[in-house]
Structure 1
Amino acid sequence: MYDIATRKRALALLDDGRSLNSVSKETGISRAALRSWRTRIQPLPRLNQSAPCSGPADETAYAYLLGLYLGDGCISDHPRGGHHLRIFCDNAWPGLIQQCRAAILAVRPTDKVYVLQREGCVAVTSYGRHWTCLFPQHAPGKKHDRQIALEPWQQEIVDAHPWEFIRGLIHSDGCRITNWTVRNGKRYEYPRYFFTNKSDDIRRLCTDTLAKVGVQWTVLARGSDPFNVSIARKESVALMDAHVGPKY
């Protein structure tokens, strides 16, 4: 009933990580037929998956994406092989969602990116076979419960693009706020940046990189937990405003 070209196109969609329901709605082919073809016909390999991982296509975008991943990212296995990279972004920051999507496409131009709506947030998602190569920090368990260290090649990229890495960290687990105080009956306002993360290792990566670009920071503890990195000095805030800026 369906020619081989139609079958191969449907199987290629499934190999991209699409669900049976999604491909069935797009092509008009029943889920039973799709399921049968998938078991009887070897799906076509994706062109970008046949070659070994050669690193990120854009190192500037990778430094930013690495910061996002360490803050709010995860990698999960796909049932047919490969992996899903997911970066979770709050609905309140549509500009951040677009920057995240653009960074993923710049790092892996041949992998598709889509946005999945969740309650109060979106998961910017990409399927591919090289995400664990690009983010070797992936492992079972929460990041703050295990050691997080950069590979030498990752550190080289961060050293070459420190502000992009810092911006990714702040855009994931950080913020820019305006504090205020009253002195002699007059209200004074001043901006401040925070980075908050439970992982000692990830906070250290943040503060080490801040120090390299001349940003002064302090640690504010919640009780006995030093989860908050604070940047409040006027000169340091000005540097952050010039290179990072608030989420939008």
Structure 2
Amino acid sequence: MHPPEIRARARSLYLAGATVAEVSRTVGLPYPTVRHWCKDRPEPKRRASALRCFRCRSEAGDPSDRSQFAYLLGLYLGDGHLVVGRVPVLRIFCADAWPDLIAACEDAMRDVMAASVQRVQKQGCVAVQSYGKHWPCLFPQHGPGRKHERAIVLADWQREIVEAHPGDFLRGLFHSDGCRVSNRVTVRGRRYVYPRYMFVNESADIMGLCQWALDLLGIAWRMNRRNSLSVARRDAVAALDRHVGPKS
């Protein structure tokens, strides 16, 4: 007898649009068992209109949609991957070392799209994923190959959201490809320690979006390497602390 939460998870995945085979692989159970749960004893599938895709629904969305989307967009540009098949699946890869970040990513997916969200354990990280036909509506940047090997340009409506919520967007970027560190320098024999933020990304387009969002908040930055951005001035670090803060 399988635990009821496993059966509920399998049905939730199926109702979100995953195939029986995809559900079987995700929950690690035989295909016939999953098929029986999902097809022989089905629950009514949710209508597409029940999904909270703010790009497709006619009614206005909650304000949380926009701020959480800005955060999720930052995570996606850093560590995200969207597979567009019969049922698209959005995956954000989060290191095991940051459990609060994993939870925040999971919450953002649920707030942006009221769909089932799963955690799939990988070696050293967790893939936070969600199946849903509307994910490509929200992330038109998806495409074949690595992000730094193709152009990454925000749609006009995405730019409007980032302009309204630059701090949330930066939080997503720094939570994926950034960090807050203690920088140590020695000047004339005296040792100094001060905090600074680092953001590293191989994509010139994504780096440009990070610079743009920092400029929107008036936060000073500089490029210390071709693919590395630094925020080190005391007032700039304090400002970024209000929006990002250390990973946890």
TM-score normalised according to structure 2 size:
0.82
C-alpha deviation, 1:14, in angstroms: 3.4
Report if aligned partners of 1:74, 1:85 keep a CA contact under 8 Å in 2: yes
CA distance, structure 1, for counterparts of residue 28 and residue 153 of structure 2: 43
Distance 1:89 1:13 in 2: 21
Q: CA deviation at 1:202?
A: 0.4
Rounded to whole Å, the distance in 1 between the matches of 2:146 and 2:28 is 36
**By how many angstroms is 1:15 displaced?**
4.3
Cα distance, 1:113 vs. partner? 0.5
* Structure 2 match to 1:54: 54
Quote the offset at 1:84 in angstroms.
0.7
- CA distance in structure 2 between the partners assigned to 1:244 and 1:52 by the alignment: 26
Relative distance call for 1:24 and 1:121 in structure 2 (3 A) is closer
TM-score by length of 1: 0.82
Provide the residue aligned with 2:129 in structure 1.
Answer: 125
Q: In percent, how many aligned pairs have the same letter?
A: 46
Runs of 4 or more above 6 Å deviation:
21-24, 36-43
Q: In structure 1, what is the equivalent of residue 113 of structure 2?
A: 108
Cα distance in 2, alignment partners of residues 187 and 124 from structure 1: 41
Identify the residue that residue 4 of structure 2 maps to in structure 1.
none
Q: Distance in 2 between matches of 1:134 and 1:190?
A: 38
Q: 1:121 to 1:49 in 2, by over 3 A?
A: farther
Contact 1:59 1:157 in 2 (8 A): yes
1:168 maps onto 2:172 in alignment: yes
Equivalent residue letter for 1:117: Q
2:6 alignment partner in structure 1: none
Deviations 1:175-201 (A, max 9, x none): 010011223443210111111111110
* Structure possessing the higher radius of gyration over alpha carbons: 1
Unpaired runs of at least 5, structure 1:
1-9
| Structure-2 change in CA distance of 1:215 and 1:37 (3 Å) | closer
Q: Which structure 2 residues correspond to residues 73-112 of structure 1 after superposition, within 5 A?
A: 73-78=80-85, 81-109=86-114, 111-112=115-116
User: Quick one: distance in 2 between partners of 1:153 and 1:245?
Assistant: 27
Count of residues in Structure 1 that have an aligned counterpart in Structure 2: 229
| Corresponding letter in the other structure for 2:95 | D
Q: SS of the counterpart of 1:19?
A: helix
Structure 2 alignment gaps of length 5 or more: 1-9, 56-60
